[in-house]
Amino acid sequence: MKLWRARPATPPPGTRKALTGPDRKRAIEEAIPLPVEIAGQWGWRLLAVIGVLIVVGLLIINLRLIVIPFMIAILISALLVPFKGYLIKHHWPRWLAVLVSLLLAVLVIGGLVFVIVIQVRVGLPSIERKSVAAYANFKSFLEAPPFNISKVQYTKYLGDLSSAIQKNTGVIGSAAGVVVDTVTKLFTGLLLTLFATIFLVLDGARIWRWVVGLFPRRARVAVDGAGQAGWVTLTAFIRVQIFVAFVDAFGIGLGALLLGLPLAIPIAIVVFLGSFIPVVGAIVTGIASVFIALVYAGPLQALIMLGVVLIVHLLEGNFLHPFITGNAVKVHPLAVVFAVAAGSFVAGIPGALFAVPLVAVTNVMIKYFAAKQWLVDAKPDIKDVAQVTTTVKTDE
């Protein structure tokens, strides 16, 4: 392949003429080396793609009060829609299948919240007693070497802290306003999530057909197939993540229960919810359980709890994921860590929650396009998606 165009012979001096129109344009093109022209073509296209991504990102950030509830609804629907399809396949009326699916989701989520509230109310007296004992132990720890903080110094520090709090009462008042605003936004987001979930479960297929209809006619088959592949990947990811979260919650919750930690069941539920953020969420909630063990039980129990957390994560990483995570939802741990970090940097906790499923779905859709799988199978299932992600055919 020639990297430099052949230039025409230079005319003798005195015979050159001013170039105009097509001749001038052709002369400029012939003067530019081919590698520079290729780099330029790639450069402006990459700049255009980056510009589009920046605009989309800014829109998502500014419309996050709408985008986040909708994405949560998509994650919930990825679990409920297959269940609805299972009921319809077993001759349930469509309206009843939708109703049962939605009621099941409400009962599960409401049940988790109810258990947490009941456990906190029942364990509150014990927590108060253990908190007083932990506070006394902490004071004794500060009075001993190497800190050697006397009771007078400790009282002075508390007085300084109280004075600082009193001087910042205005900040506290504004913080109360922030809390009210946050509660209002959470309530609004909850309503949007509920309505979006209902309509996605009820009529998600027709909504997707409308989205596909926005694309040019020639691209609709490919877009529809890629969307189907992404949806299959998302449903598989949610099922896998629920199972992994259950194992994490059961192992860490059982360890907390055997060690006699307060609120062992709420700890397990928090670990379950946190595990939906792959790798990072389970680690953070596991560290929180170790801290609770350190405060309320002592260093030995904290070390034992740390061992339980490490064993659970080793079991998850070395046994669960290799056996239950197929190629369709497999994401390299390095990509998981960076995706979660980028998502949390851009959108906080919601960004960390959506980062990994977004990466997994995008990866499958791109490979589906690259393999031109829609030419042979426009309605892929999980086996087709796994095959596409392992072998991407390219034209010779």
Report the pLDDT value the prediction gives residue 350, as an integer from 0 to 100. Answer: 79
How far CA 300 is from CA of 129, 248, 294, 307, in Å, comes to: 20, 22, 8, 11
pTM of this structure: 0.72
User: d(Cα 197, Cα 203) in Å, to the nearest integer?
Assistant: 10
Report the pLDDT value the prediction gives residue 365, as an integer from 0 to 100. Answer: 85
Report the pLDDT value the prediction gives residue 172, as an integer from 0 to 100. Answer: 47
Per-position DSSP letters for 239-270, written without gaps between them: HHHHHHHHHHHHHHHHHHHHTT-TTHHHHHHH
Report the pLDDT value the prediction gives residue 112, as an integer from 0 to 100. Answer: 83
User: d(Cα 24, Cα 6) in Å, to the nearest integer?
Assistant: 17
> Is omega for the bond preceding 146 within 30 degrees of 0, making it cis?
yes
CA neighbours within 13 Å on the CB side: how many for 191? 5
More confidently predicted of 210 and 168: 210
Tell me: pLDDT of 393 over 50.
Answer: no
How far CA 19 is from CA of 23, 123, 347, in Å, comes to: 6, 90, 55
Burial of 216-255, coded b for 16+ CB within 10 Å and e otherwise, reads eeeebebbbbbbbbbbbbbbbbbebbeebbebbbebbbeb
More confidently predicted of 18 and 191: 191
Average the pLDDT over 272-291 and give the result: 79
**DSSP label at residue 327:** T
The answer to whether the beta carbons of residues 210 and 224 sit under 8 Å apart is no
User: d(Cα 179, Cα 191) in Å, to the nearest integer?
Assistant: 18
Listed in sequence order, the residues at least 6 apart from 264 whose beta carbon sits closer than 8 Å to its beta carbon are 253, 256, 257
Tokens of 76: 């919930």
Question: Which of the residue ranges 21-30, 122-131, 196-205, 339-348 would you say has the lowest mean pLDDT?
Answer: 21-30
pLDDT tens string 355-388: 888 888 888 888 888 777 777 766 776 666 666 6
Report the pLDDT value the prediction gives residue 394, as an integer from 0 to 100. Answer: 44
Q: If you search the block for the tokens 């994560």, which residue do you land on?
A: 313
pLDDT tens string 285-338: 888 888 888 877 778 888 888 888 888 878 776 676 656 655 556 667 677 778
